[in-house]
Structure 1
Amino acid sequence: MSDQIAPGALDATDEAIIGLLEEDGRLTHRGIAAQVGLSRSAAATRVQRLLTEGHIDVRGVVHAAVLGHEVLAHVSVSVNGSATRIARAAAARDDTTLVSMTSGHHALVLELRAGTIVQIDDALAEVRAIDGIVAAETLLYTEVIRDVAAPVGPAPAAGSLDETDYALLRALQSNGRASYVDLAASVGLSPAGTRRRVVQLLAGNVVRVGAVVRHSGHERRTATGIGLRIDGAAHRPVAQQVADLPSVTFVARTLGRFDALLTVTTATSGDLVEVLDHIRDLDGVREAETWSHLRFVKETYASLHLGGA
């Protein structure tokens, strides 16, 4: 395959690189090259192009608990009027981390993150008051099982981070692929000491560094939301099974009209049909409702205002 492709276009090699960076945003150019069959320099050129053209953004995403975001909610919004205008109003809020224009009954979906359920309730009241919003249906996350963009699982121990850790987290939020030399310069440590700190933060589930794909509606891959209704005892087993599927990028157990919420990313409609059929065939799955993410207006998983201990 030729390494020369038209500006703005993505080929299979680009898609493979994006997949690797979604799993490990700090994977070296040499490591990428070895897995996709390119020279190191060609891999570096590809990565830089993906970043420069805005196809991906590689940043460190800090565990929600470290940011004080203990409560997460998914909101499906029906509108009367321009969905774009309403999406922009929702995206302007500090507590929305995701705003997507969608197909189907709901014109938009939002993700809200806050410290308490009371703060979520207050935020929902303000969202519902946006001119043009007809209704907002809410799911509360009880457990996030998979998220390619953010750390999941146990929260880091309270008080385990110091000022240097917070400085590194801020630097990684700004640029997840920053070199250890550059990171060291920003926090006043040696490159070796900085590397040890970063490895500890990653291993301790404090931060995850990965590529966030900037979905514009023009790329090869499409994102589909799926709400599952599941038989009582099967909630957790089903959620764990779907989390293991390669095309599933997000899985959460939820309270509300769905028992689990998924996001699936596929390259073709045929791929999506296969994934949906597999999910619907799982023991315990009673119903799967789907919607297409047409355009992501906001995807923000990092807080650049992260404070110190």
Structure 2
Amino acid sequence: MNQMATDTALPDISLDDADAGIIAQLRADGRAPYRGMAKELGLTEATVRSRIKRLEESNVLRVVAVTDIDAAGYGLLLSIGVQVDGRSPEDVARDLAALPAVFSVNVVVGAQDIEVLVCARDAQDLYALTSEVLARVPGVARLTPALAVDVLKNQPDWVPFNTNTGNSFFAAGPDAGGSALDAVDRAIVLQLSHDARTSNRQIAAELGVAEGTVRTRIRRLETEGHIRLTAVTNIERFGDASLAYIFVEVSRSDRTQAVAKAMADIPELGFVGVMLGRSDVLGITMVRNTEHLADFIHRRISAIDGVRRTDSTLGVNFIKHDYRMARIVA
């Protein structure tokens, strides 16, 4: 996958056990205190602070707020394969990336030319998005959608940092209809989406509200599952890595949930959803190359009881990925 110019000057980096332990702590709680992490890992507080700073400055780690798409008023999540005709997939992908409802765009190889993830507020919004917006992008020949009806796993741990996250999540404005977040909530979340370790005092000063208000609202948003404060790591900083989309057809429809649960238990899969349309189940994972993908499918996916066949696409160029958005799963 391509890197930005700012990344190419950075040396390759490897994580030691201390780095891995710190990242694991921050994935569990993006606001974990330095002192608590140091005690848990057997390190000094100064070591924890310096290592987090090094990982951030090396463009390896970001600690952010991930917001649940349902809480933001988007009731529908779709994976859409895009076949292109008459234009380069990269050019079409950039046009798709400019659309606020599209939060992930990846040029791929396989049966499709582009894979996108989109969200919609309701069926009417979805129809307008697919038929009047996506389908009319020059070069889009065919859309093959799949609606996520049950997301069993969604862990945005390894993501590309070299893409434009844009402002898609908040494009509808602070009082978007159907959102469980009011204007103050959304302003707080926007601050946390840049750096989840920003202090309550700093956020309060920025927004002109009381520090206690910020503290109470963050606690409520986390408790109610509207946001998750977590660490994300940059797949671009660890050599060749690509996202693979694995579409699974089950042997019998009554086996769909069992297959999805078995896939969710596979650590390498970051996303698992029961789908309606293009496939019965979708799994997303990170692989090194096509050989790695084939081996993973044959050994881990096809071996699951109830899997009839699989289809897959392999990402070659991420154009956009807004890791601030996800379906938060308890």
TM-score of the aligned structures, taking structure 2 as reference length: 0.75
Contact 1:73 1:111 in 2 (8 A): yes
Over residues 35-81 of structure 1, what are the superposed CA-to-partner deviations in whole Å (9 max), with x where a residue is unaligned?
66754434333333433343344321222122211112111112233
Matched, 1:185 2:205: yes
Over residues 89-127 of structure 1, what are the superposed CA-to-partner deviations in whole Å (9 max), with x where a residue is unaligned?
100011101101112121210111111222222222222
Partners of 1:42 and 1:220 lie apart in 2 by 29
Give the structure 1 partner of residue 151 of structure 2: 144
Cα offset, 1:227, TM superposition: 0.6
Cα offset, 1:86, TM superposition: 1.0
Give the structure 2 partner of residue 27 of structure 1: 32
Give the structure 2 partner of residue 307 of structure 1: none
Matched, 1:45 2:50: yes
Partners of 2:107 and 2:153 lie apart in 1 by 22
Structure 2: where are the runs of 5+ without partners?
1-8, 158-177, 326-330
Partners of 1:29 and 1:298 lie apart in 2 by 32
Matches within 5 A, 1:192-207: 194-207=214-227
Partners of 2:285 and 2:65 lie apart in 1 by 22
Partners of 2:310 and 2:41 lie apart in 1 by 35
2:121 corresponds to which of 109, 112, 115: 115
- Residue type of the alignment partner of 2:12: A
Q: Per the alignment, do residues 33 and 77 of structure 1 end up closer, same or farther by CA in structure 2, a change over 3 Å counting?
A: farther
Cα offset, 1:186, TM superposition: 3.6
Cα offset, 1:288, TM superposition: 1.9
Partners of 1:10 and 1:31 lie apart in 2 by 26
Matched, 1:246 2:267: yes
Cα offset, 1:250, TM superposition: 0.8
Contact 1:148 1:210 in 2 (8 A): no
Contact 1:128 1:135 in 2 (8 A): yes
- Residue type of the alignment partner of 2:242: T
1:66 corresponds to which of 65, 71, 83: 71
Q: How many residues align?
A: 290
Give the structure 1 partner of residue 243 of structure 2: 223
Cα offset, 1:148, TM superposition: 1.3
Matches within 5 A, 1:169-184: 169-184=189-204
Identity among equivalent pairs (%): 24
Q: Per the alignment, do residues 233 and 62 of structure 1 end up closer, same or farther by CA in structure 2, a change over 3 Å counting?
A: same
Give the structure 2 partner of residue 284 of structure 1: 306
Partners of 2:42 and 2:10 lie apart in 1 by 21
Contact 1:225 1:290 in 2 (8 A): yes
TM-score of the aligned structures, taking structure 1 as reference length: 0.80
Q: Per the alignment, do residues 49 and 121 of structure 1 end up closer, same or farther by CA in structure 2, a change over 3 Å counting?
A: farther
Structure 1: where are the runs of 5+ without partners?
1-5, 151-157, 304-309
Partners of 1:45 and 1:217 lie apart in 2 by 19
Partners of 2:206 and 2:25 lie apart in 1 by 27
Partners of 1:67 and 1:160 lie apart in 2 by 6
Q: Secondary structure of 1:237's match?
A: helix
Give the structure 1 partner of residue 165 of structure 2: none
2:228 corresponds to which of 199, 208, 231: 208
- Residue type of the alignment partner of 1:178: T
Contact 2:74 2:121 in 1 (8 A): yes
Cα offset, 1:252, TM superposition: 1.2
Partners of 1:109 and 1:67 lie apart in 2 by 23
2:102 corresponds to which of 96, 99, 102: 96
Give the structure 1 partner of residue 13 of structure 2: 10
What is the CA RMSD across the aligned residues, in angstroms?
3.1
